[in-house]
Amino acid sequence: LKQAKSDVIIRAVSSPKTLLRAKEMQIADETFGYDEVEKWVEGSDLILLCTPISVILSTLEKLSQCTPTHPILVSDIGSTKAEICKAGAKLQKPFRFVGSHPMAGSEKHSLEFNDPSIFENAYWFVCPPAGMKKSEYAALSEIIEFVGATQIVFPPEHHDQTVAWVSHMPQMASTSLAANIPHRLLDQGYQHFAGRAFRDMTRIAASSWAMWKDIADTNRAEILRAMDEYIAGLKATRDAIEKIPHDEELHQIFLAGNDGRASLFAPGKNASNSFFQLTVQLKDEPGTILAILKPLAAAKLNIRDIELMKVRENIAGTLLLAFKTEEQAHQARDILRAENFEVMER
Ligand SMILES: NC(=O)c1ccc[n+]([C@@H]2O[C@H](COP(=O)([O-])OP(=O)(O)OC[C@H]3O[C@@H](n4cnc5c(N)ncnc54)[C@H](O)[C@@H]3O)[C@@H](O)[C@H]2O)c1
Ligand SMILES: O=C(O)C(=O)C[C@]1(C(=O)O)C=C[C@@H](O)C=C1
C-alpha cells in the first residue's frame, strides 16, 4: 500500500515486539501501544481491527468512549460478523462502522509469516449497515481492491450462516481428525505413514485456539447446525460401507462427492476467475524451484497461484502453478518441458 500510495500513513497498534519488527520491515510509519487508544484514534481516517474477535468487541467498546474531531471509518477482519456488526452499529458519529471479513488466511501467525499475495483472488465480505452508501466505505473497498480481493456485500447473519459451512465446520472437522489419531497408531509412530490426504485435511488443525475460541463463541448455533449436517453425512457414508457388497449407496455418495468438489471450480454464480493449472515434478536438487520460476519470469508469464504439493516432508514433491489464460499455461508448459521438467496439465 505504501509503495502504491505514498501519501498514505500507516499507523500500527500492537505489542512492542511486533511494532519493532513492523518498523524494521518498513510496513508502519507510526506505532502505538494497545493502551494509547486516544492517540491512535485521533487523526486516523480508517481504523481496521485485526485482533481476535473478543478483542475487536472490547476495542469497539473503547472506541465508543473516544471523541475524535473528524470522521473515521471503522472496520474489522473478524471471521464472524453478526455480533461484531451489532456492536459496531452502536458507535456514534463521527465514527461509522462497516464489518468485513477476508476469506483468506493461514494457520500460521505473526509478522514473520506475512504473505503479500494472500488476498489475491480471495473473496472479501463486507457487511454495511442498512442505508450506508458505497461511497461511505470507499476507503475499505479501495484496500480490498488494492490487495487483489473481490468484494462481496452480504448481510452479517447471512455471512455467518454461510461461513459456518464453508470455513468454521471444516476447521472443527480438521481439528477433530487430528485430535483423534488413536493411541494404537501414535504409540507405534504410525502417524508418520500419513499420505497427502491426511496431511491436507489436518493442515488447519495447527490453527490458533485464541482465534477459534472466539469464532466458536460468536457463531455457535450456525456451527452446530453445520456440524450436525456434516455428521449426518459422515454417518450415511459409514452406513453405506456397512452395506457392502451392496455398494450402490456408497457409489452414489462418491458421485455426489465428485460433483460437490467439482462445483467449487465450476463457472457460474459467484464463481471466481477460473485458472489453468500445471503440475511440475521437482528435481531432488538445490535451486529446483528457482530453475522453474526463472525461465517463466524471463518470458514475462504471470503466475497467479503457486503451491508446493508435498506427499511427504523432506522429498522433492510437485509444484502446482496456475495461470490466468490457457495460452499462458501452454507457453509455460512448453518452456518447462524444454528445460527437461516433467509437466502435466490439470
Ligand atoms: N487466520 C485466518 O485464517 C483469518 C482469516 C480471516 C480473518 N481472520 C480473523 O482475523 C483476526 C485475527 O486473526 P489472525 O489469524 O490474524 O491472528 P493473529 O494471532 O495472527 O493476529 C492477532 C493479532 O491480535 C493481537 N492481539 C491478541 N490479543 C490482543 C489483545 N488482547 N489486545 C490487542 N491485540 C491483541 C495479536 O498481538 C496479533 O497481532 C481474527 O478476528 C480472525 O477471526 C483470521
Ligand atoms: O488457513 C486457512 O486456509 C483457513 O482456513 C483460512 C480461513 C478459511 O479459509 O476458512 C479460516 C478462517 C477465516 O475466517 C478465513 C479463512
Of all helices (H) and strands (E), which one includes residue 96?
strand 95-97
Ligand 2 atom nearest residue 78's Cα: 14
Tell me, what's the ipTM? 0.96
Closest ligand to residue 100's CA? 1
| Amino acid residing at 309 | M
Measured CA to CA, the distance from residue 6 to residue 239 in angstroms comes to 61
Predicted confidence (pLDDT) at residue 312 exceeds the cutoff of 60: no
- pLDDT category at 2 given cuts 50, 70, 90 is low
Fold of 276-345: Alpha-Beta Plaits (3.30.70)
- C-alpha to C-alpha distance for 95 and 92, rounded to whole angstroms: 6
What pLDDT does 325 receive? 84
Higher pLDDT, 294 or 268: 294
Task: Name every protein residue with a CB atom under 6 angstroms from any ligand 1 atom.
Answer: 14-15, 18, 34, 50-53, 55-56, 77-79, 101-102, 105-106, 109, 208, 211, 215
Q: In what order do the strands lie in the sheet with 99-102?
A: 99-102, 123-127, 150-153
Extents of the domains making up the chain: 11-154, 159-263, 276-345
Task: Take residue 167 and report the three cell numbers written for it.
Answer: 470455513
CATH code 3.90.1170.20 for 159-263: no
DSSP per residue over 285-343, as a string?
A: STTHHHHHHHHHHHTT----EEEEE-SSTTS--EEEEEESSHHHHHHHHHHHHHTT--E
For residue 36, the CA-to-ligand 2 centroid distance in Å is: 30
pLDDT band at 94 (very low <50, low <70, confident <90, very high): very high
CATH 3.40.50.720 assigned to domain 11-154? The reply is: yes
Percent of the chain clearing pLDDT 90 (strictly above)? 78
